[in-house]
Amino acid sequence: LVGSEMCIETDIKSKYEENGGGIKGIVSAGFQAIHEISTMKFDVINTLTGGKLQAMKDAWSLKMEEIHEKFSSGIEKIKSLFNFE
């Protein structure tokens, strides 16, 4: 776990530096920290549930992708009715 904590710290510091430091770097590093902590907690819960959480996430993602494709298709059909150039 110590190695992963060092990796997380490096990722956060990298985000800060990638965004030029300052306020933009602080905000970016903060969001990176939130992402890293959320990922760690997700992994722990997923392990405790025997992978069921990942299965639920995958099912949700698949359904959302289907919705996105249908919505995009509908928008394209509407656009084809008009000349939006």
Tell me the per-residue pLDDT of 14-67, one tens digit each, with 9 for 90 and over: 999 999 999 999 999 999 999 999 999 999 999 999 999 999 999 999 999 999
Place of tokens 């392990």: 47
In whole angstroms, what is the distance from residue 8 CA to residue 60 CA? 27
pLDDT of residue 34: 95
Q: What is the mean pLDDT of the segment spanning 62-74?
A: 96
**Nearest-angstrom CA–CA distance, 74 and 30:** 37
**DSSP code string of 29-44:** HHHHHHHHHHHHHHHH
Q: What's the pLDDT score for residue 2? A: 56
pTM listed for this prediction: 0.63
Angstrom CA distances, 15 to 7, 31, 32, 43, 60, stand at 12, 9, 7, 22, 29
